[in-house]
Amino acid sequence: MILLELRDYLKTVKRAALPDLATHFDTDAGVLRDLLRRWEKRGDVLKLDAISPKCGSCQACGAADLEIYIWNQNHPSAM
């Protein structure tokens, strides 16, 4: 998978959780996280600080479930 495929997918879906991206691209979440950081550094992708609405510290969802990325449509290079 290359960076441009990730970019195009995020532009289309607007927002995606890391596990969903890993499933879509059939790629390890750690690899995707590294690729997403490249776009983050440019300001094209934003990582949301998500809080689980069910959070009672039961640890039913993993930390990756709370990693949500969005395409920053307002960033000049993201258009």
Mean pLDDT of the chain: 82
- C-alpha dihedral, 17 to 13 to 7 to 38, nearest 10°: -30
* Residue 58: pLDDT over 90: no
The arithmetic mean of pLDDT across residues 15-27, rounded, is: 93
Written as six digits, the tokens of 72 are 């920053």
The arithmetic mean of pLDDT across residues 15-39, rounded, is: 94
Question: CATH 1.10.10.10: does it fit domain 3-78?
Answer: yes
Residue 59 has a pLDDT of 58
* pTM for the full predicted model: 0.75
How many CB atoms lie under 10 A from the CB of residue 39?
22
